[in-house]
């Protein structure tokens, strides 16, 4: 793993126009915007696998689309190899589209059923005019198929998607993404449509590609238990924010944010001495057009106290390379750690 930063996300925000309800329409009120992503920052190094985790609607796919340059951010920026994604156009944007590839959730939908595997994998190469000759094109297709575990490639190029298993189809999707030799792969729920028995092999493949080819991988998932073992780091999202972020081991064994604790309380741990009581979250599923004031998690938080509806907690260091955003940690402003009385020492500001 190299020390250089591959991807740097800084204060990223994405708002969508809201849907006008009947009540809003009657009162001629504008619909509140949907703040799908509300100020997230993280970095990714080549060869690193980051799991972006959170329940449905928390903004994971929107984040993925922002990373891909498929959506313009409302605020903040995405930097790939030191270049701002949103600023690119024309040829620069084309080059970016080659370096960032997406692996979608559904291999049945993302493959054209009328195309043979060889053509599916060759298509991005043709679109981007990457190959210098027909022989080069064949070589690149063969390499991509082999990297995706479809070897020997001759056995697969003439097949149609329907002649393959679900796992093989997802490998074709991955091969098509690899054909352009990307430096970043964004995999949005890459195994949720696959049979449980073949999920591990696809996740193994993605993490092997990161390690062997130095590709940065952002794995997006609502199901932490399936993906955790394959990620170097975990970022837990809640209503458009990263509320906890750290090395996989630390986040799994010692989660600090009450939401991360709740998510993890239902994840089985290999260590039999570790017992967890499942935390069931109460309250409504959150709505990004009505983000609660203060800590956005407070209406569902099992340990919320009087300050939580008033103060929006920032990420604070809770361990090495490990941060969480909760008023019970630090002073909730990212500055100082309270003493045992919960007071912030004067000198620590």
Ligand X SMILES: Nc1ncnc2c1ncn2[C@@H]1O[C@H](COP(=O)(O)OP(=O)(O)O)[C@@H](O)[C@H]1O
Cβ atoms of residues 78 and 12 within 8 Å: yes
β-pairing, 49-53 vs 7-16, is unpaired
Among 58, 175, 215, 231, binds ligand X (CB under 6 A): 58
Query: Which one of ligand X, Mg ion, none is in contact with 58 (Cβ closer than 5 to 8 A by kind)?
Result: ligand X
Which among 61, 144, 68, 70 is positioned nearest to 99, based on CA atoms? 68
Nearest approach, Cβ of residue 60 and ligand X (Å)? 3
Residues in 272-291 at the binding interface with ligand X, rule: CB under 6 A: 288
241 binds ligand X (CB under 6 A): no
Rounded CA-CA distance 242/50 in Å is 13
> Considering beta carbons, is residue 215 or 237 the nearer one to Mg ion?
237
Please report, for residues 10, 91, 223, the alpha-carbon distance to residue 216 in angstroms, rounded to integers and kept in the order given: 17, 23, 20
For 209: left if phi > 0, alpha if psi spans -120 to 50, otherwise beta; the answer is alpha
325 binds ligand X (CB under 6 A): no
Among 6, 36, 50, 67, binds ligand X (CB under 6 A): 36
Nearest approach, Cβ of residue 38 and Mg ion (Å)? 16
Q: Kindly state the greatest CA–CA separation across the chain.
A: 72
Residues in 101-160 at the binding interface with ligand X, rule: CB under 6 A: none
Nearest approach, Cβ of residue 194 and ligand X (Å)? 18
60 binds ligand X (CB under 6 A): yes
301 binds ligand X (CB under 6 A): no
Nearest approach, Cβ of residue 53 and ligand X (Å)? 10
Alpha helices in the chain (DSSP H): 22-26, 60-67, 90-99, 117-127, 134-147, 166-178, 196-213, 224-227, 248-253, 258-265
61 binds Mg ion (CB under 5 A): yes
- Residue 225, helix vs strand vs coil: helix
> Considering beta carbons, is residue 57 or 294 the nearer one to ligand X?
57
34 binds ligand X (CB under 6 A): yes
> Considering beta carbons, is residue 148 or 237 the nearer one to Mg ion?
237
49 binds ligand X (CB under 6 A): no
């Amino acid at each position: 793993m190299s020390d250089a930063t591959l991807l740097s996300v800084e204060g990223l925000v994405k708002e969508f126009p809201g849907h006008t309800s009947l009540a809003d329409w009657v009162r001629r009120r504008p619909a509140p915007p949907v703040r799908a992503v509300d100020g997230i920052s993280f970095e990714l190094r080549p060869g690193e696998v980051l799991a972006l985790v959170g329940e449905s609607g928390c903004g994971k796919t929107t984040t993925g689309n922002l990373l891909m340059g498929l959506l313009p951010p409302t605020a903040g920026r995405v930097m790939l190899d030191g270049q701002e994604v949103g600023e690119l156009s024309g040829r620069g944007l084309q080059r970016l589209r080659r370096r960032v590839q997406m692996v979608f959730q559904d291999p049945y939908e993302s493959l054209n059923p009328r195309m043979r595997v060889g053509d599916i994998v060759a298509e991005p190469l043709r679109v981007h005019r990457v190959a210098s000759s027909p022989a080069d094109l064949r070589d690149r297709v063969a390499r991509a198929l082999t990297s995706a575990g479809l070897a020997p490639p001759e056995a697969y190029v003439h097949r149609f998607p329907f002649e393959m298993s679900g796992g093989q189809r997802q490998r074709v999707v991955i091969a098509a993404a690899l054909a352009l030799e990307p430096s970043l792969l964004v995999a949005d729920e890459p195994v949720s449509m696959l049979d449980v028995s073949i999920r591990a092999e696809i996740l193994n493949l993605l993490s092997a590609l990161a390690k062997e080819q130095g590709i940065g991988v952002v794995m997006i998932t609502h199901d932490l238990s399936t993906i955790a073992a394959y990620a170097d780091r975990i970022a837990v999202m809640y209503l458009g924010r990263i509320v906890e972020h750290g090395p996989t081991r630390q986040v799994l064994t010692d989660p600090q944010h009450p939401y991360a604790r709740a998510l993890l309380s239902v994840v089985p741990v290999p260590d039999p001495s570790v017992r967890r009581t499942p935390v069931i979250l109460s309250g409504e599923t959150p709505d990004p057009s009505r983000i609660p004031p203060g800590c956005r998690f407070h209406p569902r938080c099992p340990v919320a106290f009087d300050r939580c509806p008033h103060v929006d907690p920032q990420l604070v260091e809770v361990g090495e390379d490990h941060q969480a955003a909760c008023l019970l940690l630090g002073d909730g402003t990212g500055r100082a750690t309270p003493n045992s009385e919960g007071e912030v020492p004067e000198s620590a500001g």
